[in-house]
Chain A
Amino acid sequence: MTELVSDILLQCNGATATPAGQSIQRVDINVFISPIYVASRLLEGEWSEALLIIDEPDPAHQRVCGDPGTIEVAPGVCDIKGTGTGQGVYDGSAERPNVFQGRIPPETIVHNRIVWPGVPIDGGQHRIRITNIRVNGIPPNGLGLPSQIFALVYAPSPLTISNATQVVAFSENSVTTQVVAPTTFQSCVGQNTGLATGAATSGTPQLTVRFTEQMPTAFRKRTAAPFVDADTSPDPVAQNEWRPITETGFYNPAFPSLPGRGNLARAGLADFGTRFYAHFSNIPSGVRLFAPTSVASGGAVARMIMRYWADGSFAPVSGNAAGLAEITTGSAGEAVVYEVLEANSASQDQFEVPIQVAYEAGVPAGAVQVVLGLGPLSTEDLSDSLSPVPRFKQVWNPVPAFTVEACAACAENVSGRVVVTRSGLRVNRTTNRFMQTITIQNTSGATIAGPLVLALDSLSANATLYSPAGTTECATPVSPYVSINAGADNALSPGESVIVGLEFLNPTIKGITYTTRVLAGSQR
């Protein structure tokens, strides 16, 4: 909603330079924006950050009309005397300002015009740069092609402007978002339980939220200040023109604060770099989410800054020893926000944020959704003095993030309905593994339906079951188990027997002891 358009350059030719000592004729220069609103920041009242600069002065020679030493005949209007030659008219010396502040007239209902009142325009060769014009973005056209944003520069006679209408921007989708591998968990099976209880500082990420540039300059840092590190937003530096890798436009921190016109040292300055967020909702009680405090993409770096909506100054979130921070409760959900500290304008970057879901078994079920996008969100699409820059229109489009499913009942312990007979042990000289067969016979009068597994409880510490099918979690105690092939019907009929082969790693060659548990059911 506050996208900088290209600077507008006017090359003035011809006409006769104003004689020395004579006031240079002044004209109002208007810029109309179409088909969208002007959203340049208002510094005070109707005075904006949009600037008109004459003859490309370097920062040391930039002087604002209204600065002490200039002859301000009306707010924002300065008298400049001609030199007779057209040279040195706007050199930034006393009484020769070269920076003029634009205003957004209150009578402009649709906020699509900026006017620079009474700009002294001398004859001869001069270059005028109009900068810091921000606009709302607009969707691509019906063909999916970028939409064009136009600027019409108008000035009354005697100034004539050729090619007055220019395309100053193309508006297109800048960032796509995606949840990679939305996952389903079981409520009875804990996830990253060490992280959930605080016993561990890290676990395993189970899903990723992805933010992908659709153009190389969608992710921008705040200003052109060199990158320091992932924990630092460097102090802003002057920018003599807008650079597409920054949210800041033309900016000079030495500009004065003028009564009634605001602090021009804020003109063009963005409040922060591009921020992107993931806002989770409908999270079951007891489920915790963790994300890394910084992410990188090639040369681009983004830092987790706060746990709420992305307003405010840069405040990095502290992580634990593994560089993780918990995504904690914000307004109606849990959100993680990152700010771009370094951007790569030569290629399209993709930030991937791995999310670790952590909980102990027994949480309620729930379908967690997430909204991904650029922030902060705002409904203010016109120029104002309070709203942050940059800001983005709220498009609330929740997508599935992950689901916690209620567990089916744990597998039934059917050990009392079978007889388990073990063979002796044999060392396979090819594999050096201890081998044993287990015969399981249904001695009950009813069929035992599968799937069936054989769990080995209290396995002696010197032995490890080779290639187990899994570990029981729902049907405690936690033990390794092997699958039982109960035939095509996946069931043990009364009297039916099956044989299961076991292999153990036993490097210290000591006795192997365990107790058996036969489970029927899929939730182990």
Chain B
Amino acid sequence: MKTRILTALAICFLLSTAAQATAIYTVTMDTSALAGHPAGPFYLEFQLIDGDGTGDGNNTVVLNNFLFGTGGGALPGPFTIGSVTGDFSAGITLSDSEFFNLYEQGFTPGDWLSFTVWTTLNADSGPTPDQFSFAILDNTESQLPTAGFFDVFLYHDLNPGSVPQVFASDPNRDPIGGGTGITMDAPTVQDIPEPCTWTMLLAGLPIFAALRRFARIRF
């Protein structure tokens, strides 16, 4: 029996070396302070920058399940740079197959905002990782200031095992004033099963089945 389990795990390992590290999390924000604010319209802005600058395309970020809360919604758009496809309704995919990749689209703030982020976590060849970041722009396309160095609400260096960093708006620099009311729930990072795990489960069943039959026969 031990021999059969080891055989199944070995098969799983071979399969996992071909799979990718990933993370998925949900972003939720209270945007009620922005609703009807004269500094609007506002824009959701996402950047994916390739760390080593080669456009190696080793990381992908998928954004979907956009919800804008009561009174909110998407405005016509979007504006993109680089390797970006989709929109709020269909979902947005950013790839670092170019150095600088950007998605920007206007929205009408409701009382809250939510979207899901699915991202790969592959290290780049150089010392600078790929980075995904999220900011809100005002009607001058300036970033609403936050407590972080980058003036973003979220940034994520896409290294294996890494988690996103989140920041609240900066009440001392926030020209919106009411932006102090913006908060972000701590994203829930889920380790989605490695493809090799499913493969192991799926592949192991017939192997076990075969072994069991074999044993029975011998016996």
Residues of A whose CB lies within 8 Å of any CB of B are: 420, 422-430, 434-437, 460, 499, 501, 509-513
Taken together as a complex, chains A and B put the C-alpha atoms of A426 and B158 apart, in Å, by 13
The answer to whether B53 touches A429, judged by C-beta atoms less than 8 angstroms apart, is no
Instruction: Give 17 new A-B contacts, CB below 8 A, not counting A501-B149, A512-B53.
Output: A423-B131, A424-B49, A424-B128, A424-B129, A424-B155, A425-B128, A426-B49, A426-B131, A426-B150, A428-B151, A429-B143, A434-B49, A435-B149, A435-B150, A511-B52, A513-B53, A513-B128
- Report chain B residues within 8 Å CB of A420: 127
Between-chain CB contacts (< 8 Å), 17 pairs: A422-B128, A423-B128, A423-B131, A423-B155, A424-B133, A424-B155, A425-B49, A427-B49, A427-B102, A499-B149, A509-B100, A510-B99, A511-B50, A511-B52, A511-B99, A513-B53, A513-B126
Q: Mark B31-73, 1 if CB is under 8 A from A, else 0.
A: 0000000000000010101111110000000000000000000
Known interface pairs A424-B51, A436-B128. Does A430 touch B149 (Cβ–Cβ under 8 Å)?
no
B51 (CB) vs chain A CBs: closest residue: A424
The answer to whether B45 touches A429, judged by C-beta atoms less than 8 angstroms apart, is yes
A421 (CB) vs chain B CBs: closest residue: B127
The answer to whether A437 touches B149, judged by C-beta atoms less than 8 angstroms apart, is yes
- Report chain A residues within 8 Å CB of B155: 423-424, 426
Provide the main secondary structure of the chain B interface: loop
Give the Cβ gap from B6 to chain A, nearest Cβ, in Å. Answer: 38
Known interface pairs A429-B45, A435-B149, A509-B99. Does A424 touch B130 (Cβ–Cβ under 8 Å)?
yes
Taken together as a complex, chains A and B put the C-alpha atoms of A455 and B141 apart, in Å, by 33
A511 (CB) vs chain B CBs: closest residue: B53
**Is B182 part of the contact surface with A, judged by Cβ < 8 Å?**
no
The answer to whether A426 touches B54, judged by C-beta atoms less than 8 angstroms apart, is no
Taken together as a complex, chains A and B put the C-alpha atoms of A513 and B53 apart, in Å, by 8
Give the Cβ gap from B85 to chain A, nearest Cβ, in Å. Answer: 20
Residue picked from A422, A426, A501, A510, most chain B C-beta under 10 Å: A426
B141 (CB) vs chain A CBs: closest residue: A429
Q: Mark B131-152, 1 if CB is under 8 A from A, else 0.
A: 1110101000111000001111
A436 (CB) vs chain B CBs: closest residue: B128
Taken together as a complex, chains A and B put the C-alpha atoms of A162 and B58 apart, in Å, by 111
**Is B30 part of the contact surface with A, judged by Cβ < 8 Å?**
no
- Which 3 residue pairs across A and B have the least CB separation, nearest first? A511-B53, A424-B131, A430-B142
Give the Cβ gap from A465 to chain B, nearest Cβ, in Å. Answer: 15
Give the Cβ gap from B80 to chain A, nearest Cβ, in Å. Answer: 14
- Report chain A residues within 8 Å CB of B53: 460, 510-513
The answer to whether B158 touches A424, judged by C-beta atoms less than 8 angstroms apart, is yes
Q: Mark B85-104, 1 if CB is under 8 A from A, else 0.
A: 00000000000000110100
Taken together as a complex, chains A and B put the C-alpha atoms of A509 and B81 apart, in Å, by 11
- Report chain B residues within 8 Å CB of A422: 127-129
- Report chain B residues within 8 Å CB of A426: 47, 49, 131, 133, 150, 152, 155
Known interface pairs A511-B50, A512-B53. Does A429 touch B142 (Cβ–Cβ under 8 Å)?
yes
- Report chain B residues within 8 Å CB of A460: 53
Give the Cβ gap from B119 to chain A, nearest Cβ, in Å. Answer: 12
Taken together as a complex, chains A and B put the C-alpha atoms of A473 and B99 apart, in Å, by 33
- Report chain A residues within 8 Å CB of B128: 422-425, 436, 512-513
The answer to whether A430 touches B151, judged by C-beta atoms less than 8 angstroms apart, is yes
Residue picked from A429, A430, A511, most chain B C-beta under 10 Å: A429
- Report chain A residues within 8 Å CB of B100: 427, 509
- Report chain B residues within 8 Å CB of A434: 49
- Report chain A residues within 8 Å CB of B99: 509-511
The answer to whether B54 touches A424, judged by C-beta atoms less than 8 angstroms apart, is no
Give the Cβ gap from B151 to chain A, nearest Cβ, in Å. Answer: 6
Taken together as a complex, chains A and B put the C-alpha atoms of A512 and B126 apart, in Å, by 11
Give the Cβ gap from A313 to chain B, nearest Cβ, in Å. Answer: 67
The answer to whether B51 touches A425, judged by C-beta atoms less than 8 angstroms apart, is yes
Taken together as a complex, chains A and B put the C-alpha atoms of A513 and B143 apart, in Å, by 26
Within 8 A of A (CB), among B3-50: 45, 47, 49-50
Taken together as a complex, chains A and B put the C-alpha atoms of A513 and B135 apart, in Å, by 25
Taken together as a complex, chains A and B put the C-alpha atoms of A423 and B129 apart, in Å, by 6
Give the Cβ gap from A462 to chain B, nearest Cβ, in Å. Answer: 9
Taken together as a complex, chains A and B put the C-alpha atoms of A420 and B127 apart, in Å, by 9
Residue picked from A424, A434, A501, A510, most chain B C-beta under 10 Å: A424
B102 (CB) vs chain A CBs: closest residue: A427
Taken together as a complex, chains A and B put the C-alpha atoms of A435 and B47 apart, in Å, by 12
Taken together as a complex, chains A and B put the C-alpha atoms of A509 and B55 apart, in Å, by 12
- Report chain A residues within 8 Å CB of B135: 429
- Report chain A residues within 8 Å CB of B126: 513
Known interface pairs A424-B130, A511-B50, A511-B53. Does A430 touch B150 (Cβ–Cβ under 8 Å)?
no
Taken together as a complex, chains A and B put the C-alpha atoms of A512 and B52 apart, in Å, by 7
Give the Cβ gap from A336 to chain B, nearest Cβ, in Å. Answer: 53
Taken together as a complex, chains A and B put the C-alpha atoms of A474 and B133 apart, in Å, by 39
Taken together as a complex, chains A and B put the C-alpha atoms of A160 and B151 apart, in Å, by 100
- Report chain B residues within 8 Å CB of A437: 149
The answer to whether A430 touches B143, judged by C-beta atoms less than 8 angstroms apart, is yes
- Report chain B residues within 8 Å CB of A501: 149
Taken together as a complex, chains A and B put the C-alpha atoms of A436 and B133 apart, in Å, by 12
Taken together as a complex, chains A and B put the C-alpha atoms of A499 and B150 apart, in Å, by 13
B155 (CB) vs chain A CBs: closest residue: A426
Taken together as a complex, chains A and B put the C-alpha atoms of A19 and B132 apart, in Å, by 120
Taken together as a complex, chains A and B put the C-alpha atoms of A197 and B125 apart, in Å, by 42
Taken together as a complex, chains A and B put the C-alpha atoms of A513 and B50 apart, in Å, by 12
A463 (CB) vs chain B CBs: closest residue: B53
Taken together as a complex, chains A and B put the C-alpha atoms of A437 and B128 apart, in Å, by 10
